[in-house]
């Protein structure tokens, strides 16, 4: 048995171990945490987004609008 066969066996064993663990990616978790929604452009923000970041979005994207116009459901300091 050559080294190539040993390496292949090791990859197969590790594939079985990794399949049992499941995905370690946080992309699904991050998508679920996006629940602040701009009512004008429908852009989503993470639940941890603070007022200064939302104000920056309003200033850059929707001049003439207020934070309340874009995010009527947002409450400062509220926990989701």
Q: Is the pTM of this model over 0.85?
A: no
- Evaluate whether 47 touches 35 at the Cβ level (below 8 Å): yes
Could you tell me the two tokens for 38? 């701009």
C-alpha 79/C-alpha 47 separation (Å) is: 8
pLDDT digits over 24-75, tens only? 677 777 777 778 999 999 999 988 889 999 999 999 999 899 999 999 988 8
């Amino acid at each position: 048995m050559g080294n190539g066969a040993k390496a292949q066996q090791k990859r197969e064993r590790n594939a079985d171990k990794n399949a049992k663990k499941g995905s370690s990616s946080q992309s699904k978790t991050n998508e679920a945490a996006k629940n602040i929604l701009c009512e004008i452009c429908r852009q989503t923000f993470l639940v941890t987004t603070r007022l200064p970041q939302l104000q920056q979005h309003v200033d850059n994207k929707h001049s003439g609008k207020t934070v309340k116009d874009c995010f009527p459901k947002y409450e400062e300091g509220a926990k989701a």
